[in-house]
Amino acid sequence: MFRKVLIANRGEIAVRVLRAAKELGIPFATVYSEADRDALHVLMSGESYFIGPSPSTQSYLNIEKIISVAKEAGADAIHPGYGFLSENPEFARRCQEEGITFIGPPPEAIEAMGDKVTSRKIAISAGVPVVPGTEDSVESFEEAKSFAREIGYPIMLKASAGGGGKGMRLVFEESELKNAFDSARREARGAFGDDRIYIEKYLEEPHHIEIQIIADQNGNYFHLNERECSVQRRHQKVIEESPSPFITDELREKMANSAIRLAKKVGYFNAGTVEFLVDKHRNYYFLEMNTRLQVEHPVTEMVTGIDLVKAQFMVAAGEKLNWEQNRIIQRGHAIEARIYAEDPLNNFNPSPGRIIGLINPGNPGIRLDTGVYQGFTIPIYYDPMIAKLIAWGESREDAISRILVALDEYRLAGVKNNIIFHQVVINSEPFREGKYDTTLLEKLDYAALIRAKKKELIKKALVAAVFVFIEDSSAEDSGKESGSVSSWKMLGRIQQGIMRTRPFKL
């Protein structure tokens, strides 16, 4: 298929991609920065190239360095993973120029969809509904003001070049507009070197629901149903699931058709995701298209049984997808929790550092896509997401039970993490009932729930410690040695009690 693939990424996604390459029998090489010398993806590859200092601008984002390493390695394909260079049309073009296959869509499609104003226009021309808003970017505050009056508050200011929530501002009334407009522009200029801003009507209590698509280079387009990604903090996803508990079969069909129409309009091939907002009346609106593999792609893999990364390789190699849309059957339910090294009780501040203890969960239907191991030091330079925990179940209830058990077993000591946050959110009534939208985390007092849960854990730990103490001293009193049964029990209790308290600073 390919002589060799260079995996131009790090962390869990580099591991995910190299595993797919291994299964396909494609030789692979990886890259690493200074901070990633001992990273899991490096340990898992026989061939890994140093690409520069830790800051990503000098390593994982250094186009020329990555191209030169690909040539040195003799790679004829590059998989960019997500983030970094995955949605950079210049990089995709450089690969083309060098005769290296970029495992992703054509550069023109990346470019068209990378600009939110342009992609909205394309969506309109493809007959796909978009969130009401300006057709073009607004040039001045005055223009913004008059348009906002026309569509009515609240509104969203968005950076045309946006992504990752940058340059995005929610504005409730005119008096806030000036500040929001100036600061959104500044932020967009800083993040993207492009300060064009446009306006969207702010939809109240919407759902974020996205359609996974994949197309080959022979014009065969498929969709792999939806993912519900409405559990968001500051407009960034933290928990995703499929199927969505909110949409109907009819709506799914309509959204999927829209997604495919849009993809066809830009001559898309390879995997991609069309994101929509869905209001409470189940009207759907195009939000943006991500022209790469998504973080949350495992949710779709778990319910469809399709390996999206392998499919990406096949499509990039020019192979035909011999699929039939109506034979892509979704089975059961999957939920993903993004595990971050961050402190949920302290504004989710990143908590890089050394992992001193690690117990990974397992069970049928449990999948852990991770980029770390015990002893690894999570660098300060990159996104603090360290793993994704995915649970599959026959029903939504089964998937919830499974992920809760897995979260309960999961131990990450040495760095603060958000495991407990996931436990309380997934256990919350709105989530359990599947009645939530993107405002869930604003409404849920998760800090109080986390504190209550911690108290309960401390109590259990203390009780376990007392048990150990009593058992130990009574064994001594009776003159018996604390034999094997007792010491196993002891170990179990210590693990149950003390280990549990470790990942969280009490």
The β-bridge relationship of strands 101-102 and 77-79 is parallel
Q: What residues numbered 63-92 form the site for ligand ADP, per CB under 6 A?
A: none
Q: Helix axis angle, 107-114 relative to 116-125, nearest 10°?
A: 100
Q: Which residues share a beta bridge with 61?
A: none
Q: What residues numbered 116-145 form the site for ligand ADP, per CB under 6 A?
A: 131
SS3 of 391, please?
strand
Encoded tokens for 247: 């949409």
> Contact region for ligand ADP (CB under 6 A) — 22-30, 158-166, 298-306, 362-370?
158-166
Is 203 near ligand ADP (CB under 6 A)? yes
> Are residues 307 and 20 in contact, defined by beta-carbon separation less than 8 angstroms?
yes
Q: What are phi and psi of 147, to 5 degrees?
A: -70, -40
> Are residues 272 and 105 in contact, defined by beta-carbon separation less than 8 angstroms?
yes
Min dist. Cβ of residue 232 to ligand ADP (A) = 5
> Exactly one of 35, 73, 168, 316 binds ligand ADP (CB under 6 A); which one?
168
> Exactly one of 11, 106, 107, 206 binds ligand ADP (CB under 6 A); which one?
206
> Contact region for ligand ADP (CB under 6 A) — 195-203, 261-269, 292-300, 318-326?
195-203
> Exactly one of 156, 337, 399, 415 binds ligand ADP (CB under 6 A); which one?
156
> Exactly one of 60, 91, 102, 202 binds ligand ADP (CB under 6 A); which one?
202
Is 239 near ligand ADP (CB under 6 A)? no
Size of the site for ligand ADP (CB under 6 A): 19
Is 165 near ligand ADP (CB under 6 A)? yes
Min dist. Cβ of residue 193 to ligand ADP (A) = 16
Is 29 near ligand ADP (CB under 6 A)? no
The β-bridge relationship of strands 366-370 and 385-393 is antiparallel
Give the C-alpha distances (Å, rounded to integers) separating 411 from 238, 357, 457, 484. Answer: 19, 7, 13, 25
Min dist. Cβ of residue 345 to ligand ADP (A) = 23
Give 225-276 as a DSSP string.
EEEEEEEEETTEEEEEEES-SS--HHHHHHHHHHHHHHHHHTT--EEEEEEE
Min dist. Cβ of residue 76 to ligand ADP (A) = 32
Is 163 near ligand ADP (CB under 6 A)? yes
Q: What residues numbered 345-404 form the site for ligand ADP, per CB under 6 A?
A: none
Specify whether the backbone of 184 is left (phi greater than 0), alpha (psi in -120 to 50) or beta.
alpha
- Of 69 and 238, which CB lies nearer to ligand ADP in the complex structure? 238
Out of 16, 169, 196, 292, pick the active-site residue.
292
Give the C-alpha distances (Å, rounded to integers) separating 45 from 18, 31, 91, 402. Answer: 8, 10, 24, 31
Is 232 near ligand ADP (CB under 6 A)? yes
Is 103 near ligand ADP (CB under 6 A)? no
Question: Hunting for tokens 């450089």 — which residue is that?
Answer: 94
> Exactly one of 52, 89, 162, 414 binds ligand ADP (CB under 6 A); which one?
162
- Of 216 and 275, which CB lies nearer to ligand ADP in the complex structure? 275
> Are residues 19 and 313 in contact, defined by beta-carbon separation less than 8 angstroms?
no
> Contact region for ligand ADP (CB under 6 A) — 58-66, 142-150, 199-207, 453-461?
199-207
Is 235 near ligand ADP (CB under 6 A)? yes
Q: What residues numbered 279-308 form the site for ligand ADP, per CB under 6 A?
A: 287-288
331 catalytically annotated: no
Q: What are phi and psi of 26, to 5 degrees?
A: -95, 120
Q: What's the farthest any 2 CA atoms get from each other in the chain?
A: 87
CA dist., res. 299 & res. 332, Å (int):
11
- Of 232 and 501, which CB lies nearer to ligand ADP in the complex structure? 232
What is the identity of the amino acid at 450? Answer: I
Encoded tokens for 120: 């909205």
- Of 66 and 287, which CB lies nearer to ligand ADP in the complex structure? 287
From the number of C-beta atoms within 10 Å of its C-beta (0-12, 13-18, 19+), residue 411 rates as middle
> Are residues 421 and 344 in contact, defined by beta-carbon separation less than 8 angstroms?
yes
Is 234 near ligand ADP (CB under 6 A)? no
> Contact region for ligand ADP (CB under 6 A) — 13-21, 53-61, 76-84, 156-164?
156-164
Q: Kindly list the catalytic residues.
A: 292
Residues contributing to the site for ligand ADP (CB under 6 A)? 131, 156, 162-165, 168, 200, 202-203, 206, 208, 232, 235, 275, 277, 287-288, 438
